[in-house]
Homo-oligomer: A and B are copies of this chain.
Amino acid sequence: MDGKVRVQTIKDEPSANPSDLESFVGYNLKRAYVIVQNDFRAILGEDGLAPRVFSALSLAVQYPNITQSALARRLGIERSGLVAIVDTLERLGYLRRALVPGDRRVQALVPTDAGKQTYARALNLVRAHEDRLFADFSATEKDTLLNLLLKIRAKEDERPRS
């Protein structure tokens, strides 16, 4: 061989050959999550609600008077991390921090009318985003996927975060 034969294979991209990575759930979860998240952001717009802000608003609207600690627990994040999210939602006028009679440590999150309306609109957008993105999934496939993901989520309790 005089260098002419091998040079080509150096730059070729191996695409048929499946790598070890493709067999891992973790790797595929990550890649799939990035795709869905990017589509979420693209559809909700540049200045739209970020996924985690949407999630927090969702729970605040559905469970009015939820405390920040309870909301953080629900979202699976630290309560310190929720402060900025609630700040954002309060600054946008979508909820208020309200005093709770009986426990002055706590601040209940109360969605405003604007918050409820914005959430209703965003919810429709997010539903449309997932409907479009999973248009080629049968109802059974989507259901199976959700159930398998829930089965993974059930493991959260097994290995406590702290």
For A28, give its contact among B24, B65, B141, B149 (CB under 8 Å).
B149
For A23, give its contact among B29, B59, B108, B146 (CB under 8 Å).
B146
The CA-CA distance from A123 to B55 in the complex, in Å, is 35
Nearest-Cβ distance from residue A138 to partner chain B, whole angstroms = 11
With a cutoff of 8 Å between Cβ atoms, the chain B residues found around residue A74 in the complex are 13
Using an 8 Å CB-CB cutoff, how does the interface string of A145-162 with B read, 1 for contact, 0 for none? 110111111011001010
Cβ contact within 8 Å between B76 and A11: no
Cβ contact within 8 Å between B20 and A26: no
| CB of A62 within 8 Å of the partner chain | yes
| CB of A31 within 8 Å of the partner chain | yes
Cβ contact within 8 Å between A10 and B58: no
For A7, give its contact among B17, B31, B101 (CB under 8 Å).
B101
With a cutoff of 8 Å between Cβ atoms, the chain B residues found around residue A7 in the complex are 101-102
| CB of A1 within 8 Å of the partner chain | no
A100-B10, A155-B133 given; A36·B42 CB < 8 A:
no
User: What residues make up the interface of A, taking CB atoms closer than 8 Å to B?
Assistant: 3, 7, 9-11, 13-14, 17, 19-21, 23-40, 42, 51, 55, 58-59, 62-63, 65-67, 70, 73-74, 76, 100-103, 106, 108, 123, 126, 130, 133-134, 136-137, 141-142, 144-146, 148-153, 155-156, 159, 161
A–B complex contacts, Cβ < 8 Å, 18 sampled: A7-B102, A9-B65, A13-B70, A19-B63, A25-B142, A26-B33, A26-B40, A26-B51, A28-B153, A29-B29, A30-B37, A31-B149, A32-B153, A35-B155, A133-B155, A141-B151, A145-B145, A145-B148
